[in-house]
Amino acid sequence: MTEDAQIKTESRDETSQKINPGDIVQLELDAWISETGKLFQTTSKENAQKEGIYDEKTVYGPVYEIAGKNRFFPGLEKSIASASIGQEVVVEIKPEEAAGSRDPGLVKLYSIREFERMNVEPKVGEDVRIGDRIGRISQVTVGRVRVDFNNPLAGHVLKYRYRVIRKISERQEKLKALLEMFYGTSSGFDIAIEGDRATVVLPDSCKLDARWMNAKLRFV
């Protein structure tokens, strides 16, 4: 564990199995901005509702992860890759191992007329796409709009509390986990395994989905 990630653990199983980099695991987690205590990520529907960040489009529940393979911020990945199944872990991650430092050069001023041309009414706190970038409107004044293209978590120490529930060993579930991670869902896929060969039958819904074309490259 580096100096940037301080871990406290509470073992719930004295015979916890260690996790190795590359293992596919399932975990539950909550994450806060340390300075403010604001919850910004959770796998718990109850916690999301309680903290006012519930999104009806989000599927809540434990998520799959390949330990150490950069689905999360580097500091959290390092922590997960050295955790044990059944342990509750609390880790604080400094910006350099999370979303990085804030870059003043990523804060831009735009004329209100540019927003009028996009048919967008600028409101503080809302996200806006300008060109190929998405930023957050931080200030609206007479004739000017300030947009911050920094990651909203940049410059913050992040606090995670997580527990790895189990390690996935069954091959069919490993394929399901990969679909969940790379495509966002495994619903509708028919997975069959015979010996060393796996066959995945696609649902019609993904055959013309550009997201699947990108996910397929990672999945194969």
* Nearest alpha carbon to residue 178 among 195, 149, 196, 198: 198
Query: What pLDDT does 199 receive?
Result: 87
pLDDT of residue 210: 84
CB atoms within 10 A of CB 7: 15
Give me the domains of the chain, ranges plus CATH numbers: 1-101+153-168 (3.10.50.40), 104-148 (2.40.10.330), 170-220 (no CATH)
pLDDT in tens, 140-196: 999 999 999 999 999 999 999 999 999 999 999 999 999 999 888 888 889 888 888
**6-43: per-residue pLDDT in tens?**
434 344 443 458 898 899 999 999 999 999 999 999 99
Cα separation, 80 vs 201, in Å, equals 32
d(CA 122, CA 131): 16
**56-102 residue pLDDT tens:** 999 999 999 999 887 899 999 999 998 999 999 999 999 999 999 99
pLDDT of residue 2: 35
If pLDDT is split at 50, 70 and 90, which confidence band does 4 have?
very low
H helices present in the chain, as ranges: 45-50, 74-81, 112-117, 171-182, 210-219
Average pLDDT of span 194-212: 85
Q: What is the DSSP letter of 58?
A: S
